[in-house]
Structure formats: C-alpha cells, structure tokens
Amino acid sequence: MLHMMYLYAVRSSDQQSLRNLESRCYEIARAKIYEGMKHGDRPLDVLRAMILMTGYLFGKEWYNLGYNYIGQVVR
C-alpha cells in the first residue's frame, strides 16, 4: 500500500527528477503486490494497493493490465 502511495505521489509531482522515478516505483509496487499475494501478508492492504494499481493503470491507459488487476481484486 505504501509503495502505491509513493507511485501516485511521484506521478503527480511537478519535479521532473521525481517524475523520472515513476517506472521504478511502478516496478517496486507491482513486486510488493505480488509478494503480498504470495505470502498472504496483510490482505486488506494488498487489496487496497491493487485497487490503487487499477486506477493507476487506467490512468496510464493500460486497460488490459487494469482489467487483470480488477479481476484479481474481485476474485
């Protein structure tokens, strides 16, 4: 959940140096979501992070990935 909050902060930042970190923050957030799903650690935080990830992916117009995440959330 925390890494998704970082990702949203980086994406909405006015500073280009922070905007350059967006792809790295995305990879970390994605990895942490899968790690949380694998270990069953804090399922509500993982669920919230997946919902935020879906919003992020739809905002980037990556609809196929967004539908994948929302499908996992519903499941």
Closest CA to 2 of 58, 67, 46, 60: 46
Does the pLDDT of residue 68 top 90, yes or no? no
Single pTM value for the model:
0.80
- Do 53 and 4 contact (CB within 8 A), yes or no? yes
- Using left for φ > 0, alpha for ψ between -120 and 50, and beta otherwise, residue 34 falls in alpha
∠ CA 24-28-34 to the nearest 5 degrees?
Answer: 145
pLDDT classification of 12: cutoffs 50, 70, 90: confident
- Do 22 and 10 contact (CB within 8 A), yes or no? yes
Lowest mean pLDDT among 2-6, 23-27, 28-32: 2-6
Q: What is the pLDDT of residue 42?
A: 83
